[in-house]
Amino acid sequence: MTRQSPWASKVASLIQGGNAAAALAQIKVAPSVKDLQQLRKLLGAGGLLQRHPAVDDATSDMIVALSSPRLHRSP
């Protein structure tokens, strides 16, 4: 039994309210891949991913970016 992230529901409500620009800014600083996947699930169920292709692209891109290994920086 997993609980839904409050972040995902808040960003979904931004998109439902018509503030896609604020949602895109939040997606760029997403806390984790799990949260982005929950957001995509919420938006897919409501049909919002089809209406907002920029949000669809941003969530996909951030999932890839957060899933890839980080580059190591030397001290």
47 pLDDT band, cuts 50/70/90, is confident
Lookup result for tokens 């839904």: 4
Domain ranges of the chain: 21-65
Structure tokens at 46: 């409501």
Provide mean pLDDT across the span 29-52. Answer: 90
Kindly state the DSSP code that residue 66 receives in the 8-state scheme.
Answer: H
By percentage, how much of the chain surpasses pLDDT 70? 88
pLDDT score for 24:
93
pLDDT score for 48:
87
Tell me whether residue 20 is exposed, middle or buried, using C-beta atoms within 10 angstroms of its C-beta: 0 to 12, 13 to 18, 19 or more: middle
pTM over 0.85? The answer is no
